[in-house]
Amino acid sequence: MKLHYVIITVLLLGTLFTANTANAQQNDDLINILLKKHVINQQEADSLRADQAVKEQARKDKENVHGITIGSKALQLSGLAQVRYQGFQQTGVSDAFDLHRIRLDVRGDVTNKWSYDIYTEFGGTDVKLMDAWTSYKFGDYLKFTAGQFKIPFSLESLTTDAQLEFIDRSQAVEALAGRSKDVISSASNQQGRDIGVQVNGSFAKSDDTYLFDYTFGVFNGAGYDVTTDNNDHKDFGGRLAIHPIKNLVIGADFYNGLANYGTPAKNYTRNRAGFDARYVIGALSLQAEYDKGTDGIIKRDGWYAQAAYFVLPKKLQLAAKYDTYDPNKVLTTDRTWIYTGGVNYFFNDWTKITVDYLDRREEMAVQIKNNILEVQLQLTF
């Protein structure tokens, strides 16, 4: 190859692979010119096109990353906004728009092993501190966390709000995982969180995947965003998850505690146990969970099973869910069922709209007309 062809080739290829704004068609035309002048052969042209396709995809992926990073991971900002509409069939309940969740997340790394997170809710009537914790990671096998964070109970409760396939969590999870219908949540939804310390980690690695994940924590038991505990007892919670095959997780968890509630308030046993599983195969995801609890002398339980499928990859997802809950195992007229059908449409990786219809049934002779239509627009950054 003559020297001037070498120089031209180097310049052209440098331009081809370093210009982030280069048009794909122009790049292809450039490769064709090099082919026609016999500067490169067909095999080299195919290789260049393949390399360019990889680099173009990497550029697009980089553009799709949202959030702000300051000081090389020292400070990272992200957020979540969910605007919801609810249409109620029940007489006397008004249809309404609301700000379901408006969250700001501030997190970062103090060192390569020491991290922190502050997560705040701005929706509703009051600003609420959701998470405020710091963690030190000794290795994949052991991480120590102190502060306010989610208790290690329930797969659905531990799933972030932005990643849920339905607008609402299941009845049993809301009632037994420190959420809106739990006995400790008479004043406000505890969002599945509490104040305490925990250790977690993974072990038994095979083919770059750990077989087991574990978490164990000690908590106040009074819920999140509180100034003090309401009794001297400390609660214990733990979770073990197994990954027997790729994309399958099977989990079991427990929570043993003492809750202070009622009128007049006094201490009652508040114990929980559950197991769950999730499997993702291609466009299909399957998930199920069973939870039970004991509050004083009252025993409760419930479970759900759901499936979701992308009919258009990464764009249009259809979902269905069966959800049942019994708030008192002694009574025979209080079990409820919810059949949910849903559609998720993803505009991109950080914006989606969800439409859910909830068909609600009660364990009584006369059914209440209380079905709900929900529509939610979600933005993350």
Cα torsion 287, 308, 363, 358: sign: positive
**What was the pLDDT predicted at 328?**
97
**What was the pLDDT predicted at 57?**
57
H helix runs in the chain, sequence order: 3-18, 24-36, 42-63, 155-158, 171-176
Spatial distance between the Cα atoms of 338 and 340, rounded to a whole number of angstroms: 6
Spatial distance between the Cα atoms of 39 and 281, rounded to a whole number of angstroms: 46
pLDDT band at 49 (very low <50, low <70, confident <90, very high): confident
pLDDT band at 282 (very low <50, low <70, confident <90, very high): very high
pLDDT in tens, 181-224: 999 887 678 999 999 999 999 999 988 899 999 999 999 998 88
pLDDT band at 9 (very low <50, low <70, confident <90, very high): very low
* Fold category of 68-380 in CATH: Porin (2.40.160)
Q: Mean pLDDT over residues 84-113, rounded?
A: 95
Q: Where are the domains of the chain?
A: 3-63, 68-380
Helical axes 42-63 vs 3-18, angle rounded to 10°: 30
Contact 336, 348 (CB under 8 A): no
Beta-carbon count within 10 A of 348 CB: 10
